[in-house]
Amino acid sequence: MTLAEPTTSLRGDLAVRAATVRYGGLTALDAFDLRVRGGSITGVIGPNGSGKSTLINIVAGITPVDSGSVVFEGADVTGLTVPKRASIGIARTFQAIRLFDSMSVLENVLIGATRNYRSSLAASVFRTPRLKKDDEVQRELAMEILASFGNRLLPRLSHPVGTLSYANRRRVEITRAFMLQPSLLLLDEPMAGMNPHESWELAEQLPGLLRDRDCSALIVEHKMDIITHLCSDVYVLDHGVEIAHGSPRDVVKDPAVEEAFLGIE
Ligand code: ADP
Ligand code: MG
């Protein structure tokens, strides 16, 4: 007997099952199902207030579900805290960037590496060789990811993040998320506030970054042409329910999608 090769990898695989989130009388997500296959980039679009950030937040663990479940790499993670989910490989960026403005680019990025340290607290007090080795490894990883953005961040490693352009702050946030060495990256409108040139630059860099790190992604994005470029699979949300799902080409042709977006773009 030979062992069969697994046809699909569980790494980075996400399943949201019948997830419902209520805020008082408002149902932000209504029995919503979604699947992100390992290694894929899956997109979510929908009008403002349709539940996109709520979806990202239930996967990251910030928002609890009222019913339903979140299954990551085959395990039910619905009850796990945000740090616990981060420690098993779920990283995210925020719709409104969250960085330490007075700290440098490199400092902000290295904060994301905390979970990769094998050293103990005592080691950090006494600066043991193992800690120095950890520092070195993390710094190398940081430089590698920062270099993926060409010359956008490398010349600015010591600049306070608050002095950077919006697009560069977004790049710092993405780098910090990758420092967690995630297998799933959640991106909530990463191109919001970027001009078309910057948006496309990021759209062209993301697939390679994700592939090199064996990471899948769930991306919320308004620009349909960018979703079409990045994603094999797209979900369209409206008022917390799926109104369309499929390839980008198919969902844009869907009359329900046209109606939901009428007067929006
Ligand atoms: P999107 O990201 O698609 O714009 P959200 O997921 O942020 O939508 O919000 C979905 C709905 O839930 C909106 O009507 C929003 O006002 C509401 N909502 C989101 N967060 C909260 C909250 N913490 N308390 C109350 N209502 C909320
Ligand atoms: Mg949102």
User: In the chain, what is the straight-line distance between the N-terminal and C-terminal CA atoms, in Å?
Assistant: 57
Q: Which of 38, 148, 20, 173 is nearest to 92 (CA)?
A: 173
**Distance between CA 216 and CA 35 in Å, rounded?**
11
Spacing, Cα 28 to ligand 1 middle (Å): 6
Q: What is the mean pLDDT of residues 78-107?
A: 93
User: What is the average per-residue pLDDT within 15-25?
Assistant: 97
Ligand 1 pocket member 93 (CB < 6 A): no
Q: CA quadruple 47, 45, 208, 186: dihedral positive or negative?
A: positive
Which ligand places an atom closest to the C-alpha of 22?
1
Domain with CATH 3.40.50.300 in the chain: 11-89+182-265
Share of the chain above pLDDT 70, in %: 90
- Give the ranges where 10-128 is alpha helix by DSSP (H): 52-60, 82-87, 105-111, 121-126
Q: How confident is the model at residue 8 (pLDDT cuts 50, 70, 90)?
A: low
> Quick check: 125 pLDDT over 70?
no
**198 alpha carbon, distance to own chain's centre:** 18
What six digits make up the tokens of 226? 């960018």
Whether the per-residue pLDDT at 123 is higher than 90: the answer is no
Residue whose pair of structure tokens reads 């928002």 in the numeric block: 63
How far, in Å, from the CA of 108 to the mean position of ligand 1? Answer: 28
Phi and psi dihedrals of 88, rounded to 5? -100, 5
pLDDT tens digits along 37-86: 999 999 999 999 999 999 999 999 999 999 999 999 999 999 999 999 99
Average pLDDT estimate for 244-264: 85
pLDDT in tens, 153-193: 999 999 999 999 999 999 999 999 999 999 999 999 999 88
CA pair distance 253, 237, nearest whole angstrom: 15
For every residue of 176-191, DSSP letters joined together read HHHTT--SEEEEESTT
Average model confidence (pLDDT) across the chain: 90
Residue 265's pLDDT band (boundaries 50, 70, 90)? Answer: very low
Q: Which residues contact 2 (CB under 8 A, 6 or more apart)?
A: none
**What CATH number was assigned to the domain covering residues 11-89+182-265?**
3.40.50.300
pLDDT tens-digit map of 106-121: 999 998 776 565 666 6
Lowest mean pLDDT among 2-11, 14-23, 192-201: 2-11
Kindly report the protein residue whose alpha carbon is nearest to atom 21 of ligand 1: 23
Identify whether the C-beta of residue 59 lies closer than 8 Å to the C-beta of residue 13.
no
- The better pLDDT of the pair 117, 32 is held by 32
CA 150 centroid distance within chain: 21
- 175-190 residues labelled b (16+ CB within 10 A) or e (exposed): bbbbbbebbbbbbbbb
Q: Hey, whose CA ends up nearest to atom 6 of ligand 1?
A: 51
How many other C-beta atoms lie within 10 A of the C-beta of residue 47? 18
In short, whether 49's Cβ falls inside 6 Å of ligand 1 is: yes
pLDDT digits (tens, 9 = 90+) for 188-246: 999 988 999 999 999 999 999 999 999 999 999 988 899 999 999 999 999 999 999 99
What integer pLDDT is reported at residue 5 of this predicted model?
A: 52
**Is the separation of the CB atoms in 162 and 97 below 8 Å?**
no
Neighbours of 88 (CB within 10 A): 15
Ligand 2 mean position to 205 CA, how many Å?
A: 23
Residue 124 clears pLDDT 90, i.e. is over it: no
